Structures are given as structure tokens and as C-alpha cells.
Structure 1
């Protein structure tokens, strides 16, 4: 059989290719379409049962460390809580339900710059809907954005108006989930940003907006700097707004610069504490040696779960199904299982290395003053960084919308989908 870059063509059934990656099979179109770089191919997820059986076997064989010596998460994921979650993962969690969620939506793949890109594309039933590309980050995935698809594309069913409608495009980042894994260095935020413009143009959109949080924000800011024809504006949660003098003080451990307002000083102190407690070491390790950390994440489901759970975005997750504020246990395991079954934890982690340690929330590092397009920002109170409006206005010359909401955290679309949707409606209203 011939190989297609990033995929192994294994079988032809009923005129379609079943494309085998490292983990499973997905319908992707005819043989000629698979080998065409610009064709958009329908995609369905199906993971062979042997892969799910192997996951459960590995969970059952987990070798656990001894108990932490503190009563909080300061040393990492707590043993008893992690054991309970991982035990449920092995005995109670059902991946097939996650497949059903994805396969209920229109999914596609297309090849851009040599890498196969998986994406969800849902068109609104309302004409004049604003096309919107939304980018996830680490350790998230398309799963964290599923709850906002309905409210964005069909607003009248969720308290909105027909004129609030969006066409929604949600790609898996290169190296993440069902997208292909880059086989060469160079797939950083700038290159992904260019690929996203190619994707939107390939879908026939001549005018569109972009949104992102976490790495998605870095990619969306890169799109804003590049300002491709047709990109009308961007919305960010976790924007890059830290001024150069503040960033320098944080980096060197110096006192806060003079002249900060009370709110700015509170943010400075919170960031300083964040760095001093070691939480920032997560970013350092991922940036310095993603391949090294990847060996453990690839071999042990429990190790993968433990590592993902110490990400600051999960710092307040409750490990159970009782809260209406955070993703449920099953929703979190949808995300973890996607990383496992696609064997993408290492390829995804390389995005940290590709960004070369450039601060994702540093205005200078992300060259925010070069963004001339309209920029909208929503600040969620439980995110790892809560940007003051004064810093945001310094960072973005054309800041057209800024709003601090009263609930939600790092995975805002996952945690507060209705509020997140309302923010996007308000932020992009001026672009219609």
C-alpha cells in the first residue's frame, strides 16, 4: 500500500478509504481525495476495541507512588483522588459515548502545508452568519468547545437572535487529537495561524473572525498580526497584556514597578505568587524537554492524567460530577482519552518548545502592538491570569471590547458555555 503523509492507507471499503493512524480508523473519502492536498474530506471517529482494551489493561496495571506528604495539591495530583479518577477511567468510563458526541457533528480533514488537519465545521441555518474559527489549547481539545456550537450556530434556540448567528469552525491543532503530527520542526503559532487562514479560505469564507484561549489565544494573536485578507477581528480569553516593565520584574523576582494601580498591583502579586510556588515550572518543563516528558505520558494512562491535572487550568477542578461550574468527570476523561488514544501527548507538547519560551501573556513577547485589527477580550475571574483593562489598552491599539465577567476560568467555554457564547455575540457584534 502507498503511504500518505502522516497517515497509513490500509483498506478500501465501499469506495472510501479507511485511514489507519497509530490508534484507529476514520472514514476520509475516496482514494483520489485522500491524496489531494486541497480536498476537504468527511471524517468519522472509530477507535478499534483492542485499543480501548489496552487502555483498561494499562490502567489496571498502574504502579502507584507513595502518598504525598502534604494535604493539598502543592506536590501534584493527590494520590487518593487520582486513584479514584483513574479507577473510574478503567472501569466506569465509556469512550464510545465520546465518539458519539463527535460523530453527531460534521467533521472533516484536509491537508494544509503537508499536515492533515481535523476540524469540526457547523454552518448556521441563518444566512449572514459570521464565520468564526475557534482554537483550543493544551491540555484541551475540541471537546472543550463542543457545548458552544449549538448556541453559536442556532442562537434562537439558546436565548439569542438570528442576527447573532455564527458558522463555527473548530480545528484540532497540528499534533493534537485527530490532526496529523508534524514530522519536522517549525509548527509554531505563526505557522498554525497561516494554516487557519488557508482553512477558512478553503471553506469559501472571504470574511471571518477568530477566537482563542490558552495556545489558541497565541495563535489568534498571530493571526491578528498577520492580518490576512478577510480576517475582520479577534476575540481572546487569556490575552497577552503584561507590560514590559512588569514582565521584567516578574522574571527577575524584583519588587513591583512603581506607579501600579491597586488592581494592577493585585495582579502583579498574584503572578509573582504563581511563579514562586512552582506552578510556572509546568511551562518551563514542557518548553525545555517535551520529548522527555512525553515518554511517560505515552506509556502510562495514570501518568498522563496526573500530568494533565496539574496544569493550572485544572487547578480548581473538583474531580467529581457535582459541580455546575466545571467539566464533569466524564467530560474531562473524554479529553484525557483523546490524548491517549491518538498518542498525541508528545506531539502536542512540542508546541511549547516551538514557541521557544516566549511568554504567552507577555505583550512584548507576542508583539501585540503590531495587531491593528479590532481586538475583543473577556476576562474570566478564575483563569490563571486576569488581565487589567489598563494593561489591555496599552497592549492592543485597537481594543474594541473589554469585559470582566463574574464566573468561569481557564476552560471558559467548557465551564460556562452560555456565558462564553454571550461574550462572543457581544464582542463581534460590531463586525456584522
Structure 2
């Protein structure tokens, strides 16, 4: 039997948002964790803010590390495992980068030797501090760090795909050295799967680290194009999970839906529970799913300024720790053991053509045509369509191209 799917939440403190690290209150954290544990979830994803923890390249604040460990211990007391994101990085439209990487000290986050050595020391310190905690899942290098490497970021640190791979390999190794035997990974936003010039590629996500992470946000053009309740919207997370499998070398590499949420106004509050239920129904039909971690735990307080409007209401719980309807939907979710997906849609291995997989592209449209016909599609690289061993290991018995699918009228069976 495959392991049960994990259900968890991205922890956003109810008091002070992630700025709570500046005025850390363990009693407030405990109350937040009580409200999360009451939902029956089994893990949280935690976000130290990088500039607060490492304000100087050679100063990693011991008190901040102690507070992180105290949070992890409080989670353990409530039966919650903990994954820690190191390099924050980017959260809820704000960038959090230490001063020793910006303006007068402007250096590339991914290639400058001194910056990278500082990042390695930081990740090692956090991982080592938690390595002996039984509830420590492992490290995620950072939250959607790929957004710093290309447009639409207003001031990107440009790198090549080769440089991105080298950076990821080195930082993942640092985590593994400090906390061996844990699950260490990295996480990109969906430009890694959809944007032709993004240097963090699908292969990086699907081959480096112990898990593949996908972040599914339907404000990427999906909900705007198709509407809140369309299959393309409520199955977007399932699509990304299955898209990721085309690049994986391990035919049963676990995939973590590490972020997914119900963003207003595209998903109005009164429809958030229905969206949550439909999203979970779809993604739990994906084999090799490691877990689902909802974004996020608690709403952002209206006392905090300048967040995009959608960020204030993304929580499963209100700012005063009361569960919303969608929280009860996640709490009721149950692990499943889906069968293999036998029909594979061909996707281009060339990362310069990955926009074909984006919303509105032929791969995206063909996948949802297949899903509408009841095919339960997955994906396979165009370089692997004749690899019988690979197809057999994944249970694939039919391979089709987007052109073949889209040439078939909706509702008609392919010949």
C-alpha cells in the first residue's frame, strides 16, 4: 500500500503575519497551532523571514533560530509535523531579501560566491537546529525563489538554466548534510512549468530534491479565462501534478501540492468551499501524491497595509482563529489510492516550448479535452514516447498528441 496522503497548511500567524518573528510570542503561536490541530491536519509549512534571521552574511541570529525550534516543538506537542522554508524570499507580493544582497551591495542571489556561501550557511544552520526533532519533515530551500530569476520581477537576477541547476544542487546538498534522512526540496511558482524563458525548468522541479513541489494558483489566467467552477479551474492543481510527472526520472516520484488556495474575487468567498472540495476531489485522484498543503492558515489582519486585496481572506481560519466553511472541507478530506493513469498526453521536452503547457496552450487545452472525455490523462515527454519500459512503469497504455486530441470534436471518442 502506498503511504497515506498528508494534509496540512501553510502557517500564517494570526498576529503580525510573518513579522511575528520580530515580536515572537510563543503563547500566540500555540493558540494558532491549537486552531490548526483542531482541524485534524498533520503538518504545517513554516516561513522564517530571511532578513530577520540572517541580517548580515556572517550573522545568523541564535535567538531567531531558537524561536524557530520552539515553534517546531510547540507543533510537535499538537501532533503537527513541520517543513521549513529557508530563503524568504517572496511572500504575498512582498520581497524579503537581506540588505547584503541589494542596492549598494547588489549581488546575484544565485551566482555570487559570497552570497551563495551565506545561503549555504543559513540553510545548514536551520536544518541542523531541527535535525533531531522527530516531527521535522525537512527543508524547502525557499518559497518560489525562481521569481527572482526572470521577468515579470522588476529587478531579476538573471541566470542560465545550468546556473539554476548548480545553485539548487549545492543548496539541497547543504540541507541534506545538516539533516540527513529528511525530505529536502525546492519550490517554484508555475512559471517553471509555463514560461519559456524561466531558468528554473520543469526538469529541475521534477528531478532535484526528494519531492516535486507544485504551487497551483488559478489567478494565473486559468480562472480569468474559464470561470470559477470550470473544470480547467477546479482541476488546475491536478493538471500541474500530472504535468510534473512527464519530467520525473523516477516513475513514482512523489509530488507535493505544496500551495493551493481559493483567491477572491476570482473565487468568491461564498464559493470557496465548493472550489476546495472540487480541487481536492480532482487532485486526490492523482497517483503518487505526497500531500496537500493549503494556503493558508489564518487571514492577514486588516490592520496591516498594502497587501493585494486577495491576500487578506485566503485563510482557512479567520484572524480570530475561527474556521471557515472551506476549513471543514479540508478537515474532512481522506486519502485515496487511485489507479494508474493509462492515457498520456505528449508534452515538449524542450523548456523553450513549455508555454504550450500554460493556460490557453495546446497541451493545457488537450489535457482538459481528455479529462472531459473521462480519460484521466497524465503526460509524457516527446523524447519518451517510444520508451516502453518507462511507459509500462507508469501504467501508460495509450499515448496521444495535443493535435490528435484537439482534432477530435468534443464528446467524441478518438478512433
Q: Normalising to structure 1: TM-score of the pair?
A: 0.31
